[in-house]
């Protein structure tokens, strides 16, 4: 007599043999899980209104987001956004000097100046988050739509 668990295990083994998960997909799934669990979240405090009407992207408009220990300004430029950030040294001390701008399918790195400023060109429209590297742990903003 076969139990339900044994039958399910046999079926899983058969599917793994006949139609295995591509290694690239498994790697992406592990990376996505690590990305969601490894970084300490930085809380959003305020988000300014766009200077253009909702849903309209025009030249010269900007958006300011204030997180706990991080001020971020997104300025519209051709083909995307330019990000300027200022990290509070009292709130987020001892950073290693690197910020990552994560987006689905990739990331962009930028150096953090010794006084806490960073600039990132070509931030895409759409979902992004900023990850600040600290010695003990990474600090990350929540995902938001740029």
pLDDT 10s digits, 55-103: 444 445 788 999 988 899 999 888 889 999 998 877 666 666 788 899 8
Encode pLDDT of 25-66 as tens digits: 777 777 666 665 566 777 788 887 554 444 444 445 788 999
Residues 33 and 64 in one domain: no
* Alpha-carbon gap, residue 40 to 11, rounded angstroms: 39
Residues 62 and 84 in one domain: yes
Are the C-beta atoms of 95 and 134 separated by less than 8 Å? Answer: yes
Mean pLDDT for the stretch of residues 128-144: 83
Are the C-beta atoms of 27 and 55 separated by less than 8 Å? Answer: no
Residue 20, pLDDT > 50, answer yes
* Alpha-carbon gap, residue 136 to 134, rounded angstroms: 6
Are the C-beta atoms of 110 and 119 separated by less than 8 Å? Answer: yes
Residues 33 and 45 in one domain: no
Q: What Cα–Cα distance (Å) separates residue 133 from each residue in 11, 15, 28, 74, 90?
A: 43, 40, 21, 20, 15
Residues 22 and 74 in one domain: no
What pTM was estimated for this model as a whole? Answer: 0.66
Owning domain of residue 45: 41-145
Are the C-beta atoms of 67 and 42 separated by less than 8 Å? Answer: yes
Q: Which pLDDT score is estimated for 58?
A: 42
* CATH number of the domain to which 71 belongs: 2.60.40
Q: Which pLDDT score is estimated for 110?
A: 92
Q: What Cα–Cα distance (Å) separates residue 83 from each residue in 36, 45, 57, 68?
A: 23, 18, 16, 17
Residues 19 and 84 in one domain: no
Encode pLDDT of 110-121 as tens digits: 998 888 899 999
Residues 12 and 65 in one domain: no
Are the C-beta atoms of 131 and 39 separated by less than 8 Å? Answer: yes
Residues 84 and 124 in one domain: yes
Number of domains in the chain: 2
Residues 103 and 135 in one domain: yes
């Amino acid at each position: 007599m076969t139990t339900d668990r044994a039958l399910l295990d046999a079926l899983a083994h058969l599917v793994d043999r006949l139609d295995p998960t591509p290694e690239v997909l498994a790697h992406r799934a592990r990376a996505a899980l690590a990305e969601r669990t490894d970084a300490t979240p930085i809380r959003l405090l305020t988000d300014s209104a766009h200077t253009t009407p909702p849903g309209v992207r025009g030249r010269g408009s900007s958006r300011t987001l204030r997180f706990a220990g991080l001020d971020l300004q997104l300025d519209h430029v051709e083909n995307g956004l330019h990000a300027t950030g200022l990290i509070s040294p009292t709130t987020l001390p001892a950073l290693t000097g690197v910020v990552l701008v994560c987006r689905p399918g990739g990331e962009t790195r930028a150096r953090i100046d010794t006084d806490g400023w960073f600039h990132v060109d070509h931030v895409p429209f759409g979902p992004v988050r900023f990850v600040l590297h600290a010695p003990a742990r990474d600090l990350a903003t929540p995902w938001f739509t740029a």
